[in-house]
Amino acid sequence: MNAVQRVLSIAAIITTLLTTGCASLTQPTEAPLVSVINLKLLDVQLLEQQYGLTVRVQNPNDFPLSIKGLSYTLEINGSELAHGVSNKAATIPAFGEKKLELTMVSGTFGIIRQLQSIEQAKPEIMEYRLSGKLSLNNRLLPVYFEKAGSLDFKANAATGK
């Protein structure tokens, strides 16, 4: 094997390694299923409120999701209630799930607007939407998630819940 053939062979090997390595980093990732378990008020200040948010993250992928950080927003009836970020590392096993404890903040004026819209509309059903982005250690691209649902106050009042 001459020098040119060796260089071409080494270049082919490097190209193959880079291509397969990058392919695993950019492999399509199915969005995790995120559900709200609990939301509680932690602290109230004059201009800001802090909430504790517990979510369940389910991984529908055949590889673990190694989370290095996330950002998220909670909307009520189409308006942002609170938002947050977390740099807590967590690994969601392949086809597994994990509960995450997060914090969120809201501004007093946003809360006042929410309360005014609820008072004016007097909705029997309150719509919510949790959306966000996961940054993963083993993927180049972020993974986005969204969970929407509703709370039916009339049904809960009728059943006493």
Q: Are residues 9 and 69 in the same domain?
A: no
Q: Are residues 16 and 39 in the same domain?
A: no
**Number of domains present in the structure of the chain:** 2
Q: Which amino acid is at 94?
A: A
DSSP reduced 3-state for 17:
helix
Q: Are residues 2 and 46 in the same domain?
A: no
Helices and strands: H and E segment counts in the chain: 3, 8
At 58, give phi and psi (nearest 5°): -110, 130
In angstroms, rounded to a whole number, what is the distance separating the alpha carbons of residues 143 and 29?
A: 7
In angstroms, rounded to a whole number, what is the distance separating the alpha carbons of residues 35 and 33?
A: 7
Partnered with residue 133 across adjacent β-strands are 71, 144
Within 2-72, residue ranges assigned H as helices are: 3-26
Q: Are residues 97 and 61 in the same domain?
A: yes
The better pLDDT of the pair 40, 116 is held by 40
Q: Are residues 148 and 123 in the same domain?
A: yes
Core vs surface per residue 130-145: b (16+ CB within 10 A) or e: bbbebebeebeeebeb
Q: What pLDDT score was predicted for residue 28?
A: 77
Question: Over pLDDT 70: what percentage of the chain?
Answer: 81
pTM (2 d.p.):
0.73
Q: Are residues 92 and 122 in the same domain?
A: yes
Q: Are residues 19 and 65 in the same domain?
A: no
Q: Are residues 128 and 72 in the same domain?
A: yes
In angstroms, rounded to a whole number, what is the distance separating the alpha carbons of residues 67 and 32?
A: 11
Q: Are residues 9 and 41 in the same domain?
A: no
| CATH for 133 | 2.60.40.10
Q: Are residues 11 and 38 in the same domain?
A: no
In angstroms, rounded to a whole number, what is the distance separating the alpha carbons of residues 142 and 138?
A: 10
pLDDT tens across 52-109, in order? 999 999 999 999 999 999 999 999 888 898 999 999 999 999 999 999 999 999 988 7
Q: Are residues 138 and 104 in the same domain?
A: yes
Domain extent, residue 11, equals 1-28
